Amino acid sequence: MPKVLVTGSSAGLGRMVAEELLRSGHHVVVHARDLERGRSALEELPPGAGLIIGDVSSIAGIRAVAERANDEGPYDAVVHNVGVGYREPRRVQTVDGLSQLWTINVLAPYLLTALIDRPSRLVYLSSGMHLGSGAALDDVQWANRPWSGPQAYSESKLHDVLLAFGVARRWPQTTSNVVSPGWVATRMGGSGAPDDLGQAHLTQVELAVGDSAIAAGTAGFYYHLAPGELHPAAHDEALQDRLLAYCADVSRVSLDA
């Protein structure tokens, strides 16, 4: 059975993905920010999951997670689920001088993609909110704009699409797809979210281990197992390349190395 790493899987959608995979008999490695969250997740998940611990809010932390992930690998699929939401009231800087929201939502999946031994399938998590933004690559870190949590989040989710599609172009032997889970009632989405929580994780699972047409393809954007509405800039190869070059410059790690 395939072995799958699911980042950010101690709670919410990530844990739902891990649980679905485990119940289907797959080998799963769960990722949590700290040991307390990790142990709590393992207690509530079906037995058999592996666990790696690490905080991806810094470049050093992301590198450490990649090292631990490789120790538990190799993987048939990696689901890049880790992320933070849009209710950040101010721009929080990491030890690297970067936006914490952008680091976790974009740089973490970029660096983990570059540093984890290459799987057959990659799955990234975006959001319908990506439609309400531009890439803003001239001010990724919000150094020159008044902070807006929702806008920063929306931009990061467009960046995730650009990342996935840029990877798909560079690594044709690896499928690289993106999911919008919908606005669902997780801790991030809030209790009043209107979309179907029972559907929110199934596309990630299908893209990671399924044998459908969408799972066989690459550079796809999906919502509830069907093509989703996509930002018109998503297939702009020059924009993809600019984002990947920026990530490489910030992290000193090239995706093409």
Residue 204 class from Cβ within 10 Å (0-12 exposed, 13-18 middle, 19+ buried)?
Answer: buried
pLDDT of the residue at 256: 81
Three-state secondary-structure class, residue 48:
coil
Q: Could you tell me the CA-to-CA distances from 48 to 3, 24, 26, 36, 129 in Å, in that order?
A: 12, 12, 9, 18, 35
- Domains of the chain plus CATH, in order, are 3-251 (3.40.50.720)
The DSSP 8-state label assigned to residue 130 in this structure reads: G
Q: Is there a catalytic annotation at residue 246?
A: no
Encoded tokens for 26: 């797959």
User: What digits encode the pLDDT tens for the residues 57-82?
Assistant: 999 999 999 999 999 999 999 999 99
Give the tokens for residue 216.
């066989």
CA distance 165 to 154: 17
- pTM of the complete model: 0.95
For residue range 98-111, what is the model confidence (pLDDT) as tens digits?
A: 999 999 999 999 99
Which pair of tokens denotes residue 68?
């631990």
86, 110, 124, 157: which one is catalytic?
157
Question: Six-digit token pair at 248?
Answer: 């490489």
Return the SS3 of 10: coil
Question: From the candidates 153, 222, 223, 246, which is the catalytic residue?
Answer: 153
pLDDT at 87 over 90: no
Q: For the chain, what's the residue count?
A: 257
The answer to whether 153 is a known catalytic residue is: yes
Which positions ≥6 away from 245 have C-beta within 8 Å? Answer: none
Integer Cα distance of 221 and 36 in angstroms: 34
Alpha-carbon distance 56 to 153, whole Å? 17
